[in-house]
Amino acid sequence: MGKALFRSRTWFVTLEVSYVNISLCACAKWVKQLACCRRSEHESKSVRPRCLGEACAMVNALTFDVEEYFCYSYPGDNLNCEEWQDFESRVVPHTLETLKILEYHNVRATFFVLGWVCRRDPFLIREICDRGHEIGSHGYAHRMVFTQKPREFRDDVKCSVDLIGEITGEMPRGYRAPSFSINGDCLWALDILAELGFHYDTSIFPVAMRHYGPPEMERKPHRRENGLWEFPGATIDIAGLRFPFGGGGYLRLYPFPITHWAIHRMNAAGRPVMIYLHPWELDPNPPLQPRGLLHRFQHTVNLAKTRPRLLHLCSEFSFAPIGEVLACFEGEAERPVSQVGHK
Ligand SMILES: [Zn+2]
């Protein structure tokens, strides 16, 4: 509990520091982009897909974790999946709205679907698949990986894989852990994913904050010694500090020009960015959830900004499912990365 509280406080302090550092170091550069972004964010509802030059040179990965608004996991603050049936389901309309937005912008993405949702709403998974998107696994019961034993983790993932296989006729090629919860304490999970036949994982935020890590890990997509590809969460270095960005609470909480600038900066450095969202984030007024104040804040802050920001991203940047973005790297891979610490 004490450790969780410490991490929670660290999370808030880190965010505060990030605002200060970012403001001081990049103010001048952002003045021009700020005006552009604000205008675009407001205009995005009527903007058709377009190319803005440099951003089109790099194809980024767009991903969604398909789960209910109440399928959350935080250390010391989580609901077991046995309790989920008591809540109102909203995943179907939220996901259909997401599909509609992507169709309008002619963008395809990767949808990491929760096994519990597959069992309850198989037609929704089929609909995502039929519209040409990639289906990945988000596990079954949304349990943080570092809280599980290897056997439990294997059973949870295998259950979701079997459900997806029954619905789509294919095994998912990619996996994302709940809350990016594969860290330095449970890298054994990557070997289990390789044994289960996964082609790639995207469950690691290589940054020293919250439950993330390991921070030394390679930040570009790379292949590990066991053959599994890893597509890390997006991070940006500012004033000697590293910050996660590009999705979920970070996309909603950071001023949008920060995300916009960070994507351009990473793309200019030859790195694709992985954007991740949840269909429930399109709902500005979710039902009240029984969770701690901090986690309620993380889960609900700026929900009304998700939709215009997603529209802006789809309008300006090029996106593809993770599997297709990784294909560009597979030809470039010289040798597998065996351990963390390679830059
Ligand atoms: Zn999730």
Compute, in degrees rounded to 10, the torsion defined by CA atoms 44, 267, 212, 193: 100
Distance from Cα 173 to the centre of ligand 1, integer Å: 18
- CATH architecture under which domain 2-330 falls: Alpha-Beta Barrel (3.20)
Taking the domains of the chain in order of start, what are their residue ranges? Answer: 2-330
Q: What is the pLDDT along the chain (343 residues), one digit of tens a residue?
A: 444 444 544 444 444 444 334 433 333 334 444 444 444 444 343 333 333 344 446 899 999 999 999 887 766 666 788 888 888 999 999 999 999 999 999 999 999 999 999 999 999 999 999 999 999 999 999 999 999 999 999 999 999 999 999 999 999 999 999 999 999 999 999 999 999 999 999 999 999 888 898 989 999 999 999 999 999 999 999 998 999 999 989 999 999 999 999 999 999 999 999 999 999 999 998 887 766 777 788 888 999 999 999 999 999 999 999 999 998 877 665 444 443 333 3
Distance from Cα 79 to the centre of ligand 1, integer Å: 13
Distance from Cα 179 to the centre of ligand 1, integer Å: 6
Distance from Cα 196 to the centre of ligand 1, integer Å: 20
- Report the C-alpha gap between 139 and 71 in whole angstroms: 12
Nearest Cα to 94, choosing from 325, 290, 294, 278?
A: 278
- Report the C-alpha gap between 101 and 171 in whole angstroms: 26
- Report the C-alpha gap between 306 and 279 in whole angstroms: 10
Phi, psi of 14 (to 5 degrees): -60, -40
Q: Which residue, chain included where needed, has tokens 């830059």? A: 343
DSSP characters over 116-153? HHHHH-HHHHHHHHHTT-EEEE--SS---GGGS-HHHH
Distance from Cα 281 to the centre of ligand 1, integer Å: 12
Distance from Cα 234 to the centre of ligand 1, integer Å: 17
The predicted model scores a pTM of 0.82
